[in-house]
Amino acid sequence: MPALPFYPDQASTFAGEVDALYTFLILLSIVFGAGIALALVVFAVKYRRRGPDDRPELIHGSMALELAWSLGPLVIVMGIFVWSAALYYRIQRAPKNAMEIHVVGKRWMWKIQHMTGQREINELHVPIGAPVRLTITSEDVIHSFFVPAFRVKTDAVPGRYTSLWFEARQTGRFHLFCAEYCGTKHSGMIGSVVVMEPAAFQEWLAGGPSLSPAAEGEKLFQSLACITCHRADSGARGPSLEGLFGRPVALSDGGTAVATPEYIRESILTPSAKVVAGYQPVMPTFQGQVTEEQILHIIEYLKTLRPAPAAAIPVPPAGAPSPAARPQPKSSPKP
Ligand code: CUA
């Protein structure tokens, strides 16, 4: 359906569907609003009091009328519910193959990190025709990531990871807003989403010298000395993190947790909240030492740690590197 002039560009795959639902709601409101206003005027004239002794006739109800005004609206609102719930679920569930991008809101800017290492501020470059999933958080207060042309908006909440996905279907530059009042420069927390042809996007991506988030995370893992306790050998003070991501973890209080990004973030900032079974609560907090972006980097690094093959742990062959000296995935020997 063609865009009405008061809608922004329909630049994502579900923009048209959101607009169709919205248009339906507006038309329905107009039909009922106008109908009721009209009936009000007609009845006021038709049933006006015609003299001092004019009395209305007594009415004893009508089953047909009761059914009509109960069932009619029921069908209409249930229709709206089913239609909008179906659309809501599609908007909420990102496809598995979606391209991952990290977004951190901070007074008063949007910091964006691509998985190839490219970083940008207040600009988001994406390819046309490919699903993109944003993982969003905030470094301070609640912000809201809003791209009107895509009909998507998700809050950036401190201490939580939210997500949003879209598939752009039109190249160009589109508004990006913060849609949650976040302080004096809230109105300046704006930027743009640039939708590019896939080839141009690949070229743009290649233009960045930065390390990938996983590589950044690995560097942090070394520099923050996480590696001294989180080793794969049995004498380690902390649990091994290999193959951890996405797995259930037994806790010392008898419960279980799943190693989600939220769990990993909590374990870095509040290590005593969920202590892994068999370990002492000896880990210090890293609150104030790592930014939200760095936590996301560490999570990306942990995602890359595959479980070590069972046989490799107990008896390393003579001359082989110890289990603690993990192979560096991206490094190549210097010429
Ligand atoms: Cu950030 Cu408003």
- How far apart, in whole angstroms, are the C-alpha atoms of residue 88 and residue 160? 21
CATH number of the domain bearing residue 229: 1.10.760.10
- How far apart, in whole angstroms, are the C-alpha atoms of residue 163 and residue 191? 19
- How far apart, in whole angstroms, are the C-alpha atoms of residue 74 and residue 30? 18
Residue 55 pLDDT more than 50? Answer: yes
Identify whether 314 is part of a domain: no
Q: Which of left, alpha, beta for 149 (phi over 0: left; psi -120 to 50: alpha)?
A: alpha
Same domain, 26 and 126: yes
Q: Which of 210, 242, 262 is the last residue of a domain?
A: 210
Same domain, 199 and 232: no
Reduced to 3 states, what is the DSSP secondary structure of residue 265? helix
Please give the number of the atom of ligand 1 that sits closest to the Cα of 181: 2
Distance of CA 158 from the midpoint of ligand 1 (Å)? 12
Out of 40-44, 70-74, 318-322, least confident range: 318-322
Average pLDDT of the segment spanning 73-77: 95
Q: Nearest CA to 134 among 118, 112, 150?
A: 112
Out of 121-130, 296-305, 320-329, least confident range: 320-329
Identify whether 52 is part of a domain: no
Q: Nearest CA to 172 among 201, 196, 148, 205?
A: 196
- How far apart, in whole angstroms, are the C-alpha atoms of residue 181 and residue 305? 39
Rg (CA), the chain: 29
Please tell me if the CB atom of residue 186 comes closer than 6 angstroms to any atom of ligand 1: yes
Please tell me if the CB atom of residue 180 comes closer than 6 angstroms to any atom of ligand 1: yes
Same domain, 205 and 223: no
Please give the number of the atom of ligand 1 that sits closest to the Cα of 105: 1
Identify whether 169 is part of a domain: yes
Residues 143, 182: contact at Cβ < 8 Å?
yes
pTM confidence score: 0.72
Identify whether 294 is part of a domain: yes
Reduced to 3 states, what is the DSSP secondary structure of residue 25? helix
Same domain, 126 and 200: yes
Distance of CA 140 from the midpoint of ligand 1 (Å)? 10
Same domain, 276 and 225: yes
CATH number of the domain bearing residue 17: 2.60.40.420
Same domain, 201 and 219: no
Q: Which of 210, 228, 248 is the last residue of a domain?
A: 210
Residue 118 DSSP code? -
Identify whether 234 is part of a domain: yes
Identify whether 167 is part of a domain: yes
Residues 247, 259: contact at Cβ < 8 Å?
yes
Please tell me if the CB atom of residue 181 comes closer than 6 angstroms to any atom of ligand 1: yes
Residue with CA at minimum distance from ligand 1 atom 1: 143
Please give the number of the atom of ligand 1 that sits closest to the Cα of 183: 2
Out of 96-110, 115-129, 175-189, 266-280, least confident range: 266-280
Same domain, 41 and 150: yes
| Average pLDDT score, the chain | 85
Same domain, 99 and 192: yes
Residue 190 pLDDT more than 70? Answer: yes
Average pLDDT of the segment spanning 116-122: 88
pLDDT more than 90, % of the chain: 49
Please give the number of the atom of ligand 1 that sits closest to the Cα of 179: 2
Distance of CA 109 from the midpoint of ligand 1 (Å)? 8
Average pLDDT of the segment spanning 281-287: 85
Same domain, 170 and 248: no
Identify whether 72 is part of a domain: no
Average pLDDT of the segment spanning 32-36: 96
Q: Which of 176, 193, 210 is the last residue of a domain?
A: 210
The pLDDT tens digits for 222-253 are: 888 888 888 777 667 888 888 888 888 888 88
How many domains are there within the chain?
A: 2
Identify whether 311 is part of a domain: no
User: Higher confidence at residue 17 or residue 321?
Assistant: 17
Reduced to 3 states, what is the DSSP secondary structure of residue 142? coil
Residue 164 pLDDT more than 50? Answer: yes
Same domain, 112 and 257: no
Same domain, 197 and 232: no
Average pLDDT of the segment spanning 27-50: 94
Residues 138, 102: contact at Cβ < 8 Å?
no
Please give the number of the atom of ligand 1 that sits closest to the Cα of 189: 1
Residue 150 DSSP code? G
Residue 323 pLDDT more than 80? Answer: no
Same domain, 126 and 111: yes
What domain range includes position 241?
213-304
